[in-house]
Chains A and B, each alone.
Chain A
Amino acid sequence: GAVVSQHPSRVICKSGTSVKIECRSLDFQATTMFWYRQFPKKSLMLMATSNEGSKATYEQGVEKDKFLINHASLTLSTLTVTSAHPEDSSFYICSARESRGGNQPQHFGDGTRLSIL
């Protein structure tokens, strides 16, 4: 159980393109989903916390107009990288936490490797 599906797994596109990444919890409901960014050999960096039905909470230094987050249902959150540039190239990972209450672990999607040419 507790499977999180992230799509696409890899994107290569030209500078200026907007890229949408989907994160789905397949067998559980997730009130809260998280979006991370990870550079090679570095730790996870939390970008934003996505709450179903409300605005996402962005970490300091993360541009909300650049990284649009929508959490329209209890099983789906999307991250859109708008007008992507080469410096946005990175490994983006989503995670979802079950809505059962208490302190549930975050379960991660497989990640999206974004390369902007």
Chain B
Amino acid sequence: GQNIDQPTEMTATEGAIVQINCTYQTSGFNGLFWYQQHAGEAPTFLSYNVLDGLEEKGRFSSFLSRSKGYSYLLLKELQMKDSASYLCAVSDSNYQLIWGAGTKLIIKP
């Protein structure tokens, strides 16, 4: 079966760094996406990885290891507005997105 695992909830301090992990087992792989979703709102696209390595975009970076079926989203210089759920999604062999349940990130002052 297809499976995406990510922690349910994480807590971090304003100004700090946090890493949100995602492991996956899917039928085929055509890339991994990270989305941010604030409570009561729709998801917004953050990053896309299809090759191994680190993609950096401002305070956010995303890493992929295809051999390990593993990705992480790294958030630096955390701000209160970063409190949200972070969704990991894998594009399978049919280009369908398989969604993780999301990681709720709580930022404390």
Contacts and interface: CB of A to CB of B under 8 A. Distances in A.
Interface of A: 2, 6, 34, 42-44, 46, 49, 91, 93, 103, 105-111, 113
Interface stretch (B44-52, B61-69, B71-79): B44-52
Interface string B85-109: 0010001000111011110000000
Nearest to B43: A108
B42 A43 contact: no
Contact of A44 (B30, B45, B96, B99): B99
Contacts of A106: 33, 45, 97
Contacts of B87: 43-44
Given A43-B100, A44-B87, 16 more contacts: A2-B45, A6-B42, A34-B97, A42-B101, A43-B87, A43-B102, A93-B42, A93-B43, A103-B50, A103-B95, A105-B48, A108-B45, A109-B42, A110-B42, A111-B41, A111-B42
Contact of B42 (A49, A103, A108): A108
A95 to B, nearest CB: 8
Contact of A43 (B30, B31, B96, B101): B101
7 contacts: A42-B101, A43-B99, A46-B99, A103-B91, A105-B45, A108-B45, A111-B42
Contacts of B40: 91, 113
Contacts of B91: 103
Nearest to A107: B45
A108 B43 CA distance: 6
